[in-house]
A and B are shown apart, each in its own frame.
Chain A
Amino acid sequence: MRQRTRPGVLPGSAESLGVPRAEIARRVAECLGLVGLAGFERREPATLSGGEKQRLAIASVLAMRPSLILLDEPTTDLDPVGKGEVHAILRRLAADGLAVAVIEHETEELLDLDRILHLDAGAVRRDGPPRRLLLEVAELAAAGVEPPVAARASRWLGLAEVVREERFADEVAARGVQVERTGVRPRLATRGEAPVIEVDHLVHRYPLRDQPAVDDVSLAIRPGEFVALLGANGSGKTTLAKHLNGLLPPTSGAVRVAGHDAKKAGTAQLARHVGYVFQDPDHQIFSATVWEEMAFGPRNLGVGEDQLESRILAALEVVGLTEERDRDPFVLTKGQRQRLAVASVLATAPEILVLDEPTTGLDYNDRERMLALLADLHRRGHTVLVITHAMEVVASHCERALVMAGGKLVFDGGIPELFANDEVLARARLRAPTAWRLGRMLGLETLTPEELGAALRGGGGGNGA
């Protein structure tokens, strides 16, 4: 009779290779089990979350029974726990005898692999076990690869290879390093000014969905704050953010931005106050030159040609693209296009900036440039709200975290308070950054690698790095 197991896309690959039918059904079940998607056979792929889709893609390749599986930045878009899940699957597959090769520029998850090939300018520059190779912190940074925090900490301790996280406290004690407790970190400053963003009992329901995407969220953001909006894939953070410039109307509740009711004012009007930078710059870039792309927003808002030039030049200067003004945006690198997207929004001179995953898919150098840019804008007085999965970014730049889980706001407070709150972290599928986790083993509250380094070296130990 009818085949009962008929998943949407999974059998595709094995079908193409002419694998017998009964065998395919068996493989489908087995491969879905391997990636933790057992029981998902009949789901529409479009309804899966980001992490689930990535795992499905891995399963669909596994169904062909390859002896080598190649992955190109498989965890870029995933929340911290999702990243960990994918890497755990890959480790299990390697343990079962499959060769796994991952192309990656984030090094934090790579420490437990068997071998790393470091490519530079088209040639293999280094080849070796991760815990040894990644210890060469200075060389990596010079080549534009971010060294993992654990590697830098191991350097400070003078270790011969990158320390295993669970062994960190022992190594510190074994080396007799005195840990210097940094003074009490300044807590979140409460500002006196009136909020520039007020969200009052906001509910948003998408049509035909049972659960509201945003469920009774209230919050206030004051001028000049640097806020992180965090949460798992599908937790409602982007939906919430899209209310701040009127892209989505509230189902109920109210949103006030810079004195306007967001629903009444409409997106075109709010664009004067809120600049919204989307995740994929290619969704907005359409002009033949960088200059024209920059002029689009200000012209929409009725900025006169006399002011246009100075605005565009100022914005290009901020993102470091002045030289590229007459070039075609499509020949720019991903990092440059990302900065162009920010600049084209800056040209509209908004006091509030909302950025959706501004560092996703950027390599180390581009990411550092983007972060320096955001810090600079914050210093100039812009209110900045960043949606991100990158916890190091949150730790080093943000003053405050808003955490969403299942459409609800489950945390609103300072960054150290968030990292110390295991319950919220687990609920929102977040993970404190390495610098915090390592510091915590020593009884510290270190947010950044620099703070961790200062605590270790300040105590008189370590050889520096």
Chain B
Amino acid sequence: MKLFLYLDRESVVHRLHPVTKLVALPVLFGVAMRLERLETLALLALVVVVVAALGRALDAVAGMASLLLTLLIATTLMWWLFAPQGGLLRDGFQPAALARSAGLGLRLALMVASGIVFLATTRVEDFAHGLRTLGLPYRVAFALTLAFRLVPTFVASGRAVAEAQRARGLDLDHGGLVTRMRRYTPLVVPMFLTSIRRADRLAAALETRGFGSGEKRTDLVEHRFGGRDALAAVLLVGLVAASLWGGELASQPAVQAALGSARAWLEALYAKAASRP
């Protein structure tokens, strides 16, 4: 079973300083929250896709396509049906409301997708290192690393418990809700107890390896900010600026005029292409 999204590859995004990525992620979230129109959110989606491509992580995103699509469709539907203004149930069908709902669905899917790109291009150790650089105490950052490390272990022991009980005839698929809930006792108790035992052993193992020895820790992971981090920062600032003032800028007469002539040019081009035999 592959439980982690991280892809051990060489790419510009992999090589970014973890702090850069740790800052970029919430900034991207903020930009997504600020944008509302479907068109601008689609532009942001393009940005995320470009970053994923640069990070050679498109397949990681594609691998989660079902999750992303479910999020997108479910959110869109919910907003479209139940929105307080323009919702289908209250105000009947309104194309603008549908577009708005789709935008909100896309916003959520985008945030998850950028999270996937982050995890696919950042080692847990680097993630923790980034958090420490940002001032988080080592123990907290270590707990995060540990949580990631333990996921496959807990999944494996959970599976082992379920198999052991199914082999003794435990049936989790039939019966009413209450009976089914009660049937989970044989799963929960052994999982809980094995987890406690494991935590106990883990604590001893950490101590034997000098955890909290009082010495000043060496951090093996080392990163320096480089040109690509500066470039990423500039692009991020540009993105934020565009999300904040892009709309105003676009409504300036000069920009409007420029956009109008560009549009006319495109239309002419299209007409020419269409009239060709």
Contact = CB atoms under 8 A, between A and B. Distances in A.
A285 B194 CA distance: 10
A268 B161 contact: no
Given A2-B222, A61-B209, A280 B216 contact: no
Interface in B170-198: 170-171, 185-186, 188-190, 193-194, 197
Contacts of B3: 46
Interface string A44-74: 1110000000000000110010000000000
Interface residues of A, number: 54
Interface stretch (B43-51, B152-160, B257-265): B152-160
Given A2-B15, A20-B218, A64-B210, A46 B169 contact: no
B247 interface: no
Contact of A284 (B168, B208, B222): B168
Nearest to A66: B208
Given A25-B220, A42-B8, A16 B213 contact: yes
Interface string B193-218: 11001000000000011111101111
Interface stretch (A4-12, A196-204, A256-264): A4-12
Given A271-B169, A276-B167, A283-B157, A16 B212 contact: yes
Contacts, number: 132
A21 interface: yes
Nearest to B174: A268
Task: From A20, A21, A208, A268, name the one whose CB has the most chain B CB atoms within 10 angstroms.
Answer: A268
A4 to B, nearest CB: 10
A67 to B, nearest CB: 14
Given A206-B1, A286-B186, A15 B224 contact: no
Interface in B102-158: 123, 125, 149, 152-153, 157
Interface in A328-346: 330, 344-345
Given A64-B209, A283-B164, A11 B220 contact: yes
A3 B220 contact: yes
B222 A3 contact: yes
Contacts of A285: 190
A24 interface: yes
Contacts of B197: 282
Contacts of B210: 13-14, 16-17, 64
A242 interface: yes
Contacts of A208: 1-2
Interface in A97-145: none
B165 interface: yes
B82 interface: no
Interface string A243-257: 001010000000000
B171 A268 contact: yes
B160 A15 contact: no
B194 A242 contact: no
Interface stretch (A176-184, A295-303, A395-403): A295-303
A6 B218 contact: no
A16 B190 CA distance: 33
Nearest to A345: B168
Most buried by B among A3, A16, A267, A276: A16
Contacts of B217: 15-16, 18
A26 B152 CA distance: 29
Contacts of B152: 46
Given A25-B220, A61-B208, A268-B170, A284 B165 contact: yes
Given A16-B217, A61-B208, A300 B169 contact: yes
A278 interface: yes
Nearest to B161: A283
A328 to B, nearest CB: 12
A275 B149 CA distance: 33
A13 B209 contact: yes
Contact of B1 (A9, A207, A271): A207
Contact of A8 (B125, B170, B194, B216): B125
Interface of A: 1-3, 6, 8-9, 11-21, 24-25, 42, 44-46, 60-61, 64, 206-208, 242, 245, 247, 267-268, 271-272, 274-276, 278, 280, 282-286, 296-297, 300-301, 330, 344-345, 348
Interface of B: 1-4, 8, 15, 123, 125, 149, 152-153, 157, 160-161, 163-171, 185-186, 188-190, 193-194, 197, 208-213, 215-224, 226
8 cross-chain pairs, A with B, having the tightest CB-CB distances, nearest first: A300-B169, A18-B215, A13-B209, A286-B189, A16-B210, A284-B164, A297-B168, A276-B167
